[in-house]
């Protein structure tokens, strides 16, 4: 029985090792996936503010945190391990700029067109998350 248990443990170890090797993400994949999630969080936060589900002080604090999380990402993308050619990164950069601006200066009142910011955040989120899957 002990030999059988050792064999099972060894097989389990090998399986875990092989799976972890195969599914290890590159720095680029991790970074764009995190950026996509950050943009998604910004979109939901903006939407919840305008639906009256989130108080303004909490939303402002959330946006400050999101900006801190993602600042400088656009400057790192091309140099990260596992990054695709620059031609594939350009659409990400094009979507990053308006989405990042929406995080830095979110429209939290009804006196501005928050739907445009929401759409920018949604688009960037989708593009970045898709780039993280490739």
Per-domain boundaries in the chain: 26-133
Q: Distance (Å, rounded) from C-alpha 77 to C-alpha 31?
A: 8
List, for residues 26-47, the tens digit of each pLDDT value. 999 999 999 999 999 999 999 9
- Cβ-contact 46, 118 below 8 angstroms: yes
**Residue 24, pLDDT score:** 79
Which residues, at least 6 apart from 63, have a Cβ–Cβ distance to it below 8 Å? 42, 45, 103, 104, 106
Question: Average pLDDT for residues 84-95, to the nearest whole number?
Answer: 96
The answer on pLDDT for 14 being more than 60 is: no
| More reliable by pLDDT, 9 or 51 | 51
């Amino acid at each position: 029985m002990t030999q059988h248990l050792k064999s099972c443990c060894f097989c389990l170890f090998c399986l875990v090792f092989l799976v972890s090797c195969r599914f290890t993400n590159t720095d680029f994949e991790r970074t764009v996936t995190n950026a996509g999630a950050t943009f998604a969080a910004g979109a939901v936060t903006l939407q919840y503010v305008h639906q009256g589900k989130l108080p303004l002080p909490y939303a402002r604090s959330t946006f400050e945190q999101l900006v801190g999380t993602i600042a400088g990402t656009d400057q790192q993308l091309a140099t990260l391990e596992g990054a695709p050619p620059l031609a594939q990164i350009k659409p990400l950069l094009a979507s990053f700029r308006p989405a990042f601006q929406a995080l830095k200066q979110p429209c939290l009142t009804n006196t501005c067109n928050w739907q445009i910011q929401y759409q920018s955040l949604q688009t960037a989120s989708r593009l970045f998350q898709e780039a993280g899957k490739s």
